[in-house]
Structure 1
Amino acid sequence: MRRDLFHALDWGAAIGLVNLVWLYAAYYLGLHTNGIAVFQVFMTVWLLLTCIGFVLALRSAKRRDPQRGYLSGVLFGAVAALASAVMAVVAQVGYFKVVHPEWPEYMAQQTREHFAAHGASAEQIAQFEAQARDYFTLSNYAVSSAITAFVLGMLVSAIAMLFLRRRPVAEAPVP
């Protein structure tokens, strides 16, 4: 049981680390500051990386224990999702404090420019900009990243185990 716990934590940390690297790399590739369409590409790649990570984690768990049932697999995924959520918070702290500390101001500026281009009044623009400053904060991003990482990990685990419990996975060689 203890080995299984550490196996799940390792996979969750690995998934979180891959997401952290992708977050930072995407910033340095310019995917965060080149418009919403490019940002959607960034988010799609993040989603695929996360889903692939959880499927690989569950396949690994099933390979270690071919008798693993649905609930045991989902529990394994929950532990991995929890570790991934912790890494998501770490990633956001690093992003806001080191990688792109100008992010909140950048988003306030983008909000201001968007509504000005669409003919909003100065009063409306000021209101939307204030809302943007309240929303685009480290605390909001840390909380939403943790929740998203955990929920997505649970969802992918629940769906993946539907398929993995029906298909036998080749056993790993015994060391």
Structure 2
Amino acid sequence: MTIAVGDKLPNATFKEKTADGPVEITTDQLFKGKRVVLFAVPGAFTPTCSLNHLPGYLENRDAILARGVDDIAVVAVNDLHVMSAWATASGGMGKIHFLSDWNAAFTKALGLDIDLSAGTLGIRSKRYSMIVDDGVVKTLNVEDAPGQATVSGAAAMLEQLS
């Protein structure tokens, strides 16, 4: 079953690399008592993710935060080191959270996993964005195809936050 608006996020633990080194961050730590924009990508360094989806959120970070958002996070089914390298290469380190859902546990619990084995990627996350308020999904935008970043992009998110 796919998560829906009004549902509470499942408990999960992500890996994230910070200036102090690798840390674990739980859904409670990230979402409890906060309004957070979360978006997911099929894979770090993949074309649509790196050239379209992530840059929009980095470019619009301040505008998103100015609309009552406490934090922004991107999640992918990639390991901690890949997510850290992507954060560094994109200039996003320290600006948004780059969360590693290394074993797809969170993604599967949301019902937003997709098998991209035909493209040699294996089990990954569908591309989506959501506004989460105190752990509860307030909006959910899932792309029809992994190569698109329109309904889940930063421009669409800004409209929803207006």
Task: Flag whether TM exceeds 0.5 (same fold).
Answer: no
Q: TM-score, normalised by structure 2?
A: 0.28
Q: Give the TM-score taking structure 1 as reference length.
A: 0.26
Query: Where is the strand percentage greater, Structure 1 or Structure 2?
Result: 2
Compare CA radii of gyration and give the structure with the larger one.
Answer: 1
